[in-house]
Structures are given as structure tokens and as C-alpha cells.
Structure 1
């Protein structure tokens, strides 16, 4: 295998990994968006509080962005 072939293979692998991560994040965003009521969000917050900030950082980021989006639309 030539160096060029390895570069192309590496690039394809990287792109596939990034695409899978985007798909996974969109799915997570849809799932979190289903928590629409105040009681839903309080339940979710209680669940997240059982874990470290490092473990919940991405989830809290999505939840906060969605909350801001709801405020802007209201």
C-alpha cells in the first residue's frame, strides 16, 4: 500500500467516524427534546445529578441549548 492509499484510507475512516458521531448526536438531541414538560426536565436533571459533570457535560450542553431555543421561540 502506498502512502497516498494510507492517507485516503485514513481520511475516509476519519470522515466515517465524524459522520457516525453527528448521527449519534442528532439522535441524542431528538431524545432529549422529548422531555418537554417541567416535570420531565426535573426528572432528567435528577437522573443527571447522579453522575459527574464530565459524564454529563455533553447532555447538559444539549439540554441548555434546547432550553434557550424554547425561550427564544416563546
Structure 2
């Protein structure tokens, strides 16, 4: 599945929230999300609309690696 090119940070935060991530803090224009299930995992997301493709790819790779799935499987979970 292709990475969406028009995904905003607010939309990504909402979708990651369904996987157990919650905003733990905000510093300037960056949001820090934390997930405690399956070991603590932190993801930093710039508060931009839309997110750059390479930035989004790095975030998705980090989340996929923590969950033990591929990026495509994670995109299916997030975007349905």
C-alpha cells in the first residue's frame, strides 16, 4: 500500500490513538506520543499539515518495527 501524501499530523495522531498511542507532551511544533503496551515506545511527530513523505515513512517504520509488522501491514491497520 502506498503512503498517503495528504496525511496531517492531527489525522496521524488520531489513527495512532486507535493503536494505543497517546500524546504525552508537546514542545513547540512537535508532539510526543507514547505507548506503554508491549514495552514503552515513543514517537515524535511534527505538527504539520501535511506531513512530508519521508518523515511519515520514518514514523511508520518505527511504529511497525515496535509492533513487529511490516509497513504495509501497519498502513492496512491505520487506513483500513
TM-score, with structure 1 as normaliser = 0.30
The structure with the greater share of residues assigned to helix is: 1
